[in-house]
């Protein structure tokens, strides 16, 4: 039926049969299992374009959900390059962005103030800390962080405080705190990320007209990275698709649209934050999905890399089953390198990068992946010392910086004086002589009166002096001055009169912060509407280059080459569907700041080596990938070793890491590693045993020169950092001799000069076997004769000191 379109539309050129089938699926529920590098984003965007082009749906009937702003943006950029369409009319965005849009439109029904503001994770934590203090909650028994996880976890499961199943005293107390937290947020007019989702869901669930309106509207619902959805997000989708509880209860047949879910169970790496891979199977069952398409053809990596990924992931038990294949040929073998220390690993990495660059590889095509952020340090030092440009992903993002948060807090109080979190952040910043005592007093008054801190000031200032009064008066004056001012003017006004600017000017280390505040003004400036807010205006944030994007209303939807702005804002700024109100530029900007924490990639675009955790590498690809620190306890991470689910998630993580590489993949591990200020002795990762030997090539020391170059005691760093003193050198070399043979590479092992070899014949670094504790590695030796003791790091039982006269050890 669509074959004519299929053959004639340029959209569908160059799609493989599976991709084509996915793109041109009829209007029905479907699950697309999209392997890494199989063209998932392309399929999603092409399907939307195809639906529009063939007239099956208007832009308003599309709902496309992603997890990150980046993915949403990419989808829109690609879409607009495919056909001239007003992407603004479509609901394309992140779960939270779309929920925000929804709640802004129906804030009254959702029982929120029109100016409700969004708490990010930092704000949420400080709100909880404040709550705990106020109610004298023992923070030893209930650490605020843990409470935050509890509350977020409840919301992810769709549970309000009253829904929490109380089995013990601790849970009862936590649920109680959760209830108090809910009250506090409601009173202050703020919502956290979980609340955006939960409140949207509840409004859909409880309000039939609203629910039916959206069910009728969204004919096509597309979900990206479906394996990462949590319980609540899935329930939200069900509700919008007319498959929710209310529909099941069945008043009428619900007229919901079709859901196309795209995901890869093998890339599910976010269980720790509530993701439920099980949603994929539930979806198939509950939506009675008849159409399942597997995209297994990989366009990214060579054969050896894919073989490694396939073989590794085949060790997982619960899989939907999928194998990547390529027509690109085997390519180079996967290179494996064993270093003696983390320093040596870093030095070797640097040398290898140099060689790659000499051979013509761009630095930005080289990625170093690690399991946890702490591992980046030693690598950064090496890169820095060797003057190799690099860029680290992660860390503080623009809108999370302290000075930016401070400025935003002032701005938020302009819109919503009852936002106590913001109030607390800046009540004494810059310092204005308001200390703990006055604040505590103020909090008491506020609690007694059931009002915000702002409103409590007038009651207190009479007796507590004028500092607080002056502060609030200043806020109020600023607020009175803002009407009629542009967003830029408001921010500049606030920066000056809050004293922030002055404060950082006087601070000798405040220069960077001052510059960031300047950037905030720029960001606002670029964000601002060009032709008057609220009517037919379009507000646009800055694009990646920081250049203001301009788009006149006339060009909307007509010019596919027109630059794209933010997906969430235009509709935010349109008049409210119920009241006709519009969001102020300031409120819109604050929303933008909360939902998009901004870039943390300062030097984007530079040709630099890319450093990041495996988690943040998801969705990216590079010509050359180094996966470092492949040691048991590091990767897989030690916290995951105890349960089977944990190790399977680690394996998926490794799978993600491997499949980032296009041409060349390196796997490295080190015998010793500095962690928490101590030298740790790690066995190589168990994942090595799950990779196909035929695809691997073990790179190893060929001569003494190598050992010296990468041994612990050479070079300017390493020796000075050696906590174990001379042991490091011994260890390093001894280890080479004791490794199990891995091909010709160890044919010529480096044998270290031994100092006074003891009678028991053990050396540090040897692998030994103990009848009870199993395999382990000698870390340290002490004493002699009957007093001789050895510290052994056992794979399964951790580090133990054993008396050699008693313990039965055999050398492996």
Partner DNA sequence: GTCTATCAGAGGGTC
Partner DNA sequence: TCTGATAGAC
Which residues sit in the known binding site for ATP? Answer: 34-41
Residue 347 CB, nearest approach to DNA (Å)? 18
Name the residue nearer to DNA (CB basis): 371 or 777. 371
Which one of residues 329, 431, 484, 532 is an interface residue with DNA (CB under 7 A)?
431
The catalytic position among 159, 215, 233, 267 is 267
Active site (annotated) includes residue 225: yes
Residue 157 CB, nearest approach to DNA (Å)? 14
The window from 175-183, 269-277, 544-552, 797-805 that contacts DNA (CB under 7 A) reads: 269-277
- Is residue 437 near DNA by the rule CB under 7 A? yes
Name the residue nearer to DNA (CB basis): 11 or 379. 379
Among 409, 429, 430, residue whose Cα is nearest residue 421: 409
3-class state of residue 100 by DSSP: helix
Return the residues of window 683-722 that contact DNA according to CB under 7 A: 721
The catalytic position among 41, 54, 708, 795 is 41
d(CA 357, CA 344): 20
Name the residue nearer to DNA (CB basis): 93 or 729. 93
Residue 380 CB, nearest approach to DNA (Å)? 11
Which one of residues 24, 80, 94, 258 is an interface residue with DNA (CB under 7 A)?
94
Name the residue nearer to DNA (CB basis): 341 or 438. 438
Residue 719 CB, nearest approach to DNA (Å)? 13
The catalytic position among 40, 129, 219, 680 is 40
Residue 592 CB, nearest approach to DNA (Å)? 10
The catalytic position among 123, 192, 195, 224 is 224
For the record, the structure tokens of 368 come out as 């170093």
Active site (annotated) includes residue 351: no
Question: Across 617-694, where does the E strand assignment appear?
Answer: 622-627, 661-675, 678-681
- Is residue 737 near DNA by the rule CB under 7 A? no
- Is residue 374 near DNA by the rule CB under 7 A? yes
- Is residue 69 near DNA by the rule CB under 7 A? yes
d(CA 132, CA 418): 19
The catalytic position among 660, 662, 684, 763 is 660
d(CA 620, CA 661): 9
Backbone φ, ψ for residue 115 (5° rounding): -100, 20
How is residue 753 annotated by DSSP? P
CB atoms within 10 A of CB 292: 11
Which one of residues 389, 435, 560, 774 is an interface residue with DNA (CB under 7 A)?
435
Active site (annotated) includes residue 559: no
d(CA 507, CA 493): 20
- Is residue 433 near DNA by the rule CB under 7 A? yes
C-alpha dihedral (298, 369, 619, 273), degrees to nearest 10: 130
Name the residue nearer to DNA (CB basis): 356 or 683. 683
String of DSSP letters for 590-615: HHHHHH------TTTTS--EEEEEHH
Q: How many amino acids of this chain bind DNA (CB under 7 A)? A: 48
Return the residues of window 48-67 that contact DNA according to CB under 7 A: 67
For the record, the structure tokens of 757 come out as 């070899």
Residue 437 CB, nearest approach to DNA (Å)? 4
Active site (annotated) includes residue 40: yes
Residue 410 CB, nearest approach to DNA (Å)? 18
d(CA 351, CA 626): 13
Strands 774-782, 789-794: parallel, antiparallel or unpaired by DSSP?
A: antiparallel
Return the residues of window 132-171 that contact DNA according to CB under 7 A: 139
- Is residue 797 near DNA by the rule CB under 7 A? no
d(CA 380, CA 137): 41
The window from 207-215, 445-453, 612-620, 625-633 that contacts DNA (CB under 7 A) reads: 612-620
The catalytic position among 123, 192, 195, 225 is 225
- Is residue 640 near DNA by the rule CB under 7 A? yes
Q: 696: which strand partners?
A: 334
* Contact partners, residue 698, CB within 8 Å, separation at least 6: 336, 337, 338, 742, 743, 745
Name the residue nearer to DNA (CB basis): 677 or 753. 677
The window from 204-212, 268-276, 341-349, 704-712 that contacts DNA (CB under 7 A) reads: 268-276
String of DSSP letters for 317-329: SS------B-SS-
Name the residue nearer to DNA (CB basis): 198 or 306. 198
The window from 13-21, 170-178, 487-495, 594-602 that contacts DNA (CB under 7 A) reads: 594-602
Half-sphere exposure of 339 (CA within 13 A, CB side): 26
How is residue 9 annotated by DSSP? -
- Whether the CA torsion 508, 509, 510, 511 is positive or negative: it is positive
- Is residue 421 near DNA by the rule CB under 7 A? no
Name the residue nearer to DNA (CB basis): 676 or 755. 676
Distances (CA, A) of 322 to 29, 267, 298, 647, 691: 20, 12, 12, 19, 17
Residue 271 CB, nearest approach to DNA (Å)? 7
Which one of residues 371, 406, 412, 503 is an interface residue with DNA (CB under 7 A)?
371
Burial 732-746 (b: 16+ CB within 10 A, else e): bbbbbebbeeeeebb
Feature table: binding site = 34-41
- Is residue 120 near DNA by the rule CB under 7 A? yes
Which one of residues 96, 199, 418, 425 is an interface residue with DNA (CB under 7 A)?
96
Residue 400 CB, nearest approach to DNA (Å)? 9
Which one of residues 273, 354, 447, 704 is an interface residue with DNA (CB under 7 A)?
273
Residue 229 CB, nearest approach to DNA (Å)? 10
In terms of Cβ atoms closer than 10 Å to its own Cβ (0-12, 13-18, 19+), residue 53 is middle
- Is residue 86 near DNA by the rule CB under 7 A? no
Q: 665: which strand partners?
A: 625
Name the residue nearer to DNA (CB basis): 461 or 482. 461
Helix, strand, coil share of the chain (percent; to 5)? 50, 15, 35
- Is residue 649 near DNA by the rule CB under 7 A? yes
d(CA 104, CA 735): 62
Return the residues of window 657-686 that contact DNA according to CB under 7 A: 674, 676-677
String of DSSP letters for 189-228: TEEEHHHHHHHHHHHHHH-HHHHHHHHHH-SEEEESSGGG
Question: Are the beta carbons of 504 and 431 closer than 8 angstroms?
Answer: no
Which one of residues 130, 300, 405, 615 is an interface residue with DNA (CB under 7 A)?
615
d(CA 124, CA 508): 31
Strands 678-681, 696-699: parallel, antiparallel or unpaired by DSSP?
A: unpaired
The binding track of 181-220 with respect to DNA, each residue x by CB under 7 A or -, is ------------x---------------------------
- Is residue 723 near DNA by the rule CB under 7 A? yes
Binding residues for DNA, rule: CB under 7 A, are 67-70, 94, 96-97, 120-121, 129, 139, 193, 271-273, 371-374, 377, 394, 428, 431-438, 595-597, 612-613, 615-616, 637, 639-640, 646, 649-650, 674, 676-677, 721, 723
Residues known to be catalytic? 40-41, 224-225, 267, 660
């Amino acid at each position: 039926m669509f074959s004519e379109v299929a053959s004639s539309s340029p959209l569908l050129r160059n799609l493989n049969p599976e991709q084509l089938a996915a793109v041109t699926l009829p209007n029905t529920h479907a699950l697309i299992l999209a392997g890494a590098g199989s063209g998932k984003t392309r399929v999603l965007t092409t399907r939307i374009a195809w639906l529009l082009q063939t007239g099956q749906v208007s832009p308003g009937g599309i709902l496309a959900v992603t997890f990150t702003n980046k993915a949403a943006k990419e989808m829109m950029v690609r879409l607009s390059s495919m056909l001239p369409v007003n992407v603004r009319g479509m609901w394309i965005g992140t779960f939270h962005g779309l929920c925000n849009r929804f709640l802004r439109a129906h804030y009254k029904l959702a029982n929120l103030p029109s100016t409700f503001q969004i708490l990010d994770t930092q704000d949420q934590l400080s709100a909880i800390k404040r709550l705990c203090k106020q109610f004298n909650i023992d923070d030893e028994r209930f650490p605020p962080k843990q409470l935050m996880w509890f509350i977020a976890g409840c919301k992810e499961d769709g549970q309000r405080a009253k829904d929490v199943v109380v089995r013990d005293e601790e849970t009862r107390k936590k649920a109680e705190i959760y209830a108090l937290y809910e009250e506090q947020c409601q009173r202050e007019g703020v919502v956290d990320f979980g609340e955006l989702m939960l409140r949207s869901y509840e409004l859909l669930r409880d309000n039939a007209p609203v629910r039916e309106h959206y069910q009728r509207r969204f004919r096509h619902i597309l979900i990206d990275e479906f394996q990462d959805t949590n319980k609540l997000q899935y329930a939200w989708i069900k509700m919008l698709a007319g498959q929710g509880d209310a529909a099941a209860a069945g008043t009428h047949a619900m007229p919901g649209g079709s859901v196309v879910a795209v995901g890869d169970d093998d890339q599910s790496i976010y269980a720790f934050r509530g993701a439920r891979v099980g949603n994929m199977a539930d979806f198939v069952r509950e939506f009675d999905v008849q159409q399942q398409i597997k995209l297994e053809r990989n366009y990214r990596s060579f054969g050896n890399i894919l073989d490694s990924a396939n073989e590794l992931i085949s060790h997982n038990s619960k899989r939907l089953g999928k194998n990547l294949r390529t027509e690109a040929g085997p390519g180079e073998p996967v290179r494996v390198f064993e270093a003696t220390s983390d320093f040596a690993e870093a030095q070797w990495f640097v040398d290898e990068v140099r060689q790659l660059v000499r051979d013509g590889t761009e630095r930005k095509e080289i990625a170093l992946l690690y399991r946890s952020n702490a591992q980046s340090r030693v690598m950064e030092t090496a890169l820095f010392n060797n003057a190799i440009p690099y860029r680290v992903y992660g860390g503080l993002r623009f809108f999370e910086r302290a000075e930016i948060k401070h400025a935003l807090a002032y701005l938020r109080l302009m819109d919503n004086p009852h936002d106590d979190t913001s109030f607390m952040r800046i009540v004494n910043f810059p310092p204005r002589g308001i200390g703990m005592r006055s604040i505590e007093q103020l909090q008491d008054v506020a609690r007694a009166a059931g009002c915000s801190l702002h409103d409590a000031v007038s009651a207190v200032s009479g007796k507590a002096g004028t500092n607080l009064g002056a502060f609030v008066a200043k806020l109020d004056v600023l607020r009175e001055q803002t009407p009629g001012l542009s967003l830029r003017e408001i921010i500049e006004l606030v920066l000056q009169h809050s004293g922030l600017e002055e404060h950082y000017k006087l601070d000798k280390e405040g220069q960077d912060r001052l510059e960031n505040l300047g950037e905030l003004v720029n960001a606002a400036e670029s964000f601002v509407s060009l032709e008057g807010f609220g009517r037919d205006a379009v507000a646009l944030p800055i694009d990646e280059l920081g250049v203001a994007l301009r788009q006149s209303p006339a060009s909307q939807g007509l010019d596919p080459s027109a630059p794209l702005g933010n997906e969430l804002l235009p509709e935010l700024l349109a008049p409210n569907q119920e009241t006709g109100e519009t969001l102020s530029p300031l409120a819109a900007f604050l929303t933008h700041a909360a939902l998009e924490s901004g870039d943390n990639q300062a030097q984007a675009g530079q040709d630099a080596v890319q450093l990041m955790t495996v988690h943040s590498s998801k969705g990216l690809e590079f010509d050359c990938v180094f996966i470092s620190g492949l040691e048991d306890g590091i990767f897989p991470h030690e916290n995951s070793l105890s349960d089977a689910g944990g190790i399977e998630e680690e394996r998926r993580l490794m799978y993600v890491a491997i499949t980032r590489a296009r041409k060349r993949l390196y796997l490295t591990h080190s015998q010793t590693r500095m962690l928490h200020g101590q030298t740790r002795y790690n066995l190589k990762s168990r994942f090595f045993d799950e990779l196909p030997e035929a695809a691997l090539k073990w790179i190893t020391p060929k001569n003494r020169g190598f050992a010296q170059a990468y041994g612990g005691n050479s070079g300017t760093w390493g020796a000075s950092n050696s906590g174990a003193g001379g042991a490091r050198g011994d260890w390093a070399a001894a280890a080479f001799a004791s490794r199990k043979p891995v091909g010709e590479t160890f044919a010529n092992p480096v044998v270290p000069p031994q100092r006074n070899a003891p009678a028991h014949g053990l050396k540090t670094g040897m692998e030994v076997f103990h009848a009870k504790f199993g395999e382990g590695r000698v870390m340290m030796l002490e004493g002699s004769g009957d007093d001789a003791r050895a510290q052994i790091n056992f794979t399964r039982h951790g580090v133990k000191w054993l008396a050699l006269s008693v313990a039965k050890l055999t050398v492996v």
